[in-house]
Structure 1
Amino acid sequence: MQRRRLGHHWRLLPTLCVGLAAVLAAGPAASATHRPGTPAPAGHDQARHQGAPVDLSRATAADLAVRLQALLGQHSMLAADLMRSRIRGDDNFVQAADAALGENTDAMTDLIGRLFGAATAKKFAPMWSEHVVELVAYAAAVADQDAAALAHAREELIEYEEELADFFAGASQGRLSSAAARGAVLMHVNHLTMQADAYAARDYATADRLYRESYQHTYDLGLTLALALLPARDRATLREPIWRLRSQLGKLLAEHAVLVQDVTRAAVTNTPDFDAAAAMINGNTRDLAAAIDTLFGAPVAKRFQALWAPHVEQLVAYAGATAAGQPARQQQARAALQEFERGLAALLAPAIGGRMTPAGLSAALHEHDLLLLRHADAYAAKDYRGAHNIADQTYEHMFELARRLADGFGAEVAARLPRGGPDTGRGGLADVVENR
């Protein structure tokens, strides 16, 4: 099959510029031992994080709430990727995706234990693990066109989702009803199973729309659960402007990173879902544009547009060149990215009040790009485990970046963000919990 030409797709996505938030004030990439949504060690802004594990016992309630959102959102995307790879029959990717999802499950269990104790975590772990097993079983049944196995997987999923919902409702001590919890968890399952159905039917536009909806819903569910499960003295923090901005930026930036990786994978393998993957990035970019517009106004967002769109195009061009074994084109893409890094750094440095120099911003932008290029290299080499490790680092980096951005922008800017975030919703059930 002739490889598609990559460049022209991205000229159709003019709003890609505002992914700029993914690199504003970005520091070196987080270590793989730093789990999503947790604070970086002291001094991280001044030097490269050398891999020291984060002491979660020192994390605040706000840190744990972001961590809960991050892990739930990551679970949604990893589960969807695993289901899709099973439908494609890509066994090597299935193994790597399964390992990544297992690490996410371990992190979720650890978090539940820290919040509610070892006994509660011990009860949670098997329910959550079986939930993952049945999602994969569902995808296998779809791939095999096995109606009986599909019906059984649906039945098992419903059973485990009811158990999970009742578990969360019970832990909330009445702040979250079983009915509301079941509705939220069932929506999560429906998103994942319906995106698998659409993917198997090669309706990639629908599959990818549901992919994004699943991430957004599950991420926002983390806030609902945090409001339900945390003590009253801690819940007030989650209503403060800085925390809300940190949460919303983390949501959008982490999704941005995942979707860039998704479209570069499609470019590497020349799969028919490339156009739909591009459309997903465009949707995320519109949400980022809404955030930038809300915080700083339309003129600021427009100033970044001319720099950001070619940046994404070069990332995709690099992935295609890597898959085609064309080092000259790879080097051209790298050179173009370096030019972008210097140009955007020079533009942004005055806007952030001198808190980072142009050189420091350029280095941060380079680190961001480097992670994405390393992911493309690993995926093209079929080192799927390595690619997942790099993707995990990038995902984590976005939450550290969101913290730094929110703190850097300050409470006055953060207060401009609507209570639910621009065009992003607020988790659906969050108000239900807050008002109980």
Structure 2
Amino acid sequence: MRRPGQNWRRLSIPLLGACLLAALPVGSAVAVPPDPVPHTHETVHAAHRAGRAAPDKAADHAVRLQALLGQHSVLAADVMRSRIRGDDDFVQAADAALGKNTDAMTDLMDQLFGEDMVGTFGPLWAEHVVELVAYASAVAARDDAAREQAREELIEYEGELSKFLAGLSQGRLAPDAAHHALGMHVDHLTKQTDAYAAGDYLAADRTYREGYQHLYDLGLVLADSLLPAADRPALREPVWRLRSQLGKLLAEHVVLVEDVTRAAVTNTPDFDAAARSINANTRDLTAAMDTLFGTAAARQFQRIWGDHVEQLVAYSAATAAKDETRRQRARSALAKYEQDMAVFLNQATGGRMTRPELAQAFAGHDEMLLEHADAYAARDYPTAHDIAYRTYEHGFDLARELADAFGETVAARLPRGGAQTGYGGLAAGGR
């Protein structure tokens, strides 16, 4: 990733030695043929293929919990940063998006655990959101007394909510472990705010990513601790774990593209740090592809995906500059990427996902990100946040489709009995 308009050497994206997915038997390199795939730029969600069995509600709820927790982390960080910048228009739209996430979280808890649980969880969660914003406002105002008061309130919240969750788990979640996890969440958000206010954007963005990943992973811990015993085995199914991890990476990709888009549109000093973050996410996605399909295939994915990210940012910069020629050039390049990615994944999955289906899904993904860039450049922040919210959710639709296809592909390559011997730990930290 480079700043649009500068002749920087593109940052290399080496393969990671340690993957997010546990080691699996891998196949030969995937050769990508050059033939194009016809498609449109319609905004669509990944299509669910006909004949698929009904989804497992417990597993769906667990992914939803992870998604909402991860989204809370980045939305809260965005609100806190906007307080530091003094961008009142952005603050209002970001506050609304964070409120929407809080409502969705409360609704999910109601579905999972009933009104009695929500009666305690809802106020505690809402209060911690209020105190996070108060902390950022105090940092922006350089009011050390108010900052310390907000910090004390957050510590009190950590203790109350951790005791409540531990009690709800009936002993499966230790109070100290819950307290530590929630304390880390608050530390991530306050530290990234402090770093952002100090102009240390590399540290701020590094902590931004850590906060998202930590809270997303905490969703699995909570689901495994709070769901009924009969529902928990679904969370250990290999394809579910792959779906969870792909959702984590693809949703983070959306968040980080939108972050670097905002920096490109406004030409702010945090662009370089945002570019490093999206490159790091690309490395993680590439590592996952390496584990599943081998190094040669991963390198092909890296090249195609990296070009896609660059064109999204190029479009944002062209939009800010009101350069229609460059905008259309970026659109054309994205159309080619969508075809290339469709061909690559069709080949990688042995045809388990069709080229038109894949091209349509990625075209929809790109179209939403371009619409976000247009709205942000126009300073229509409510629309930009609404699109960002939908695009984040689309990442999980796509992850489900890919996980099913990837899982079937890997399973087909394993020797007889492989599901028991080598296919049970798709995600790091699998139990």
TM-score band, normalised by shorter chain: 0.7 to 0.9
Q: C-alpha distance in 2, partners of 1:351/1:177? A: 42
- Alpha-carbon contact 1:263-1:278 (below 8 Å) kept: yes
Q: C-alpha distance in 2, partners of 1:418/1:281? A: 29
Tell me if 1:149 matches 2:146: yes
Deviations 1:192-224 (A, max 9, x none): 000000000000000001000000100000011
Tell me if 1:284 matches 2:281: yes
- Alpha-carbon contact 2:237-2:424 (below 8 Å) kept: no
Q: C-alpha distance in 2, partners of 1:354/1:420? A: 21
- Alpha-carbon contact 2:158-2:183 (below 8 Å) kept: yes
Identity %: 64
Shift of 1:369: 1.1
What residue number does 2:89 align with? 92
Tell me if 1:80 matches 2:86: no
Alignment of 1:70-149 (within 5 A): 70-149=67-146
Deviations 1:71-119 (A, max 9, x none): 0000000000000000100011110110001010001101111111112
Shifted more, 193-202 versus 5-14: the winner is: 5-14
Shift of 1:392: 0.9
- Alpha-carbon contact 2:166-2:175 (below 8 Å) kept: yes
Shift of 1:266: 0.5
**Which of residues 289, 293, 307 in structure 2 aligns to 1:310?**
307
The change in CA–CA distance for 1:171 and 1:411 in structure 2 (over 3 A counts) is farther
**Which of residues 196, 209, 212 in structure 1 aligns to 2:209?**
212
What residue number does 1:374 align with? 371
**2:13 partner amino acid:** P
Deviations 1:308-361 (A, max 9, x none): 222211111100010111111111111111122223323333332333443333
Alignment of 1:265-276 (within 5 A): 265-276=262-273
- Alpha-carbon contact 1:10-1:309 (below 8 Å) kept: no
What residue number does 2:392 align with? 395
Tell me if 1:386 matches 2:383: yes
The change in CA–CA distance for 1:276 and 1:386 in structure 2 (over 3 A counts) is same
Q: C-alpha distance in 2, partners of 1:127/1:30? A: 36
Alignment of 1:30-429 (within 5 A): 44-45=48-49, 60-410=57-407, 413=410, 419=425, 421=427
Give the 3-state SS of the residue equivalent to 1:355 in structure 2: coil
The change in CA–CA distance for 1:331 and 1:223 in structure 2 (over 3 A counts) is same
The change in CA–CA distance for 1:261 and 1:15 in structure 2 (over 3 A counts) is farther
What residue number does 1:434 align with? none
Give the 3-state SS of the residue equivalent to 2:342 in structure 1: helix
Give the 3-state SS of the residue equivalent to 1:232 in structure 2: coil
Shift of 1:234: 1.0
What residue number does 1:12 align with? 11
What residue number does 1:22 align with? none
Deviations 1:110-158 (A, max 9, x none): 1111111112112111110010000000000000000110110011111
**2:178 partner amino acid:** A
Q: C-alpha distance in 1, partners of 2:179/2:267? A: 39
**1:238 partner amino acid:** L
Shift of 1:368: 1.5
For structure 2, the 5+ residue unaligned runs are 20-40, 412-418
Deviations 1:289-323 (A, max 9, x none): 22111111111111223322222111111000101
The change in CA–CA distance for 1:79 and 1:275 in structure 2 (over 3 A counts) is same
RMSD: 2.5
- Alpha-carbon contact 1:69-1:219 (below 8 Å) kept: yes
The change in CA–CA distance for 1:10 and 1:175 in structure 2 (over 3 A counts) is farther
Q: C-alpha distance in 1, partners of 2:9/2:387? A: 24
Give the 3-state SS of the residue equivalent to 1:14 in structure 2: coil
The change in CA–CA distance for 1:10 and 1:80 in structure 2 (over 3 A counts) is farther
Q: C-alpha distance in 1, partners of 2:83/2:77? A: 10
Shift of 1:29: 5.5
**1:391 partner amino acid:** A
For structure 1, the 5+ residue unaligned runs are 19-26, 32-39, 47-54, 432-436
- Alpha-carbon contact 1:291-1:421 (below 8 Å) kept: no
Q: C-alpha distance in 2, partners of 1:406/1:205? A: 32
Q: C-alpha distance in 2, partners of 1:30/1:188? A: 33
Alignment TM-score, normalising by the size of structure 2? 0.86
Shift of 1:30: 6.4
**1:255 partner amino acid:** E
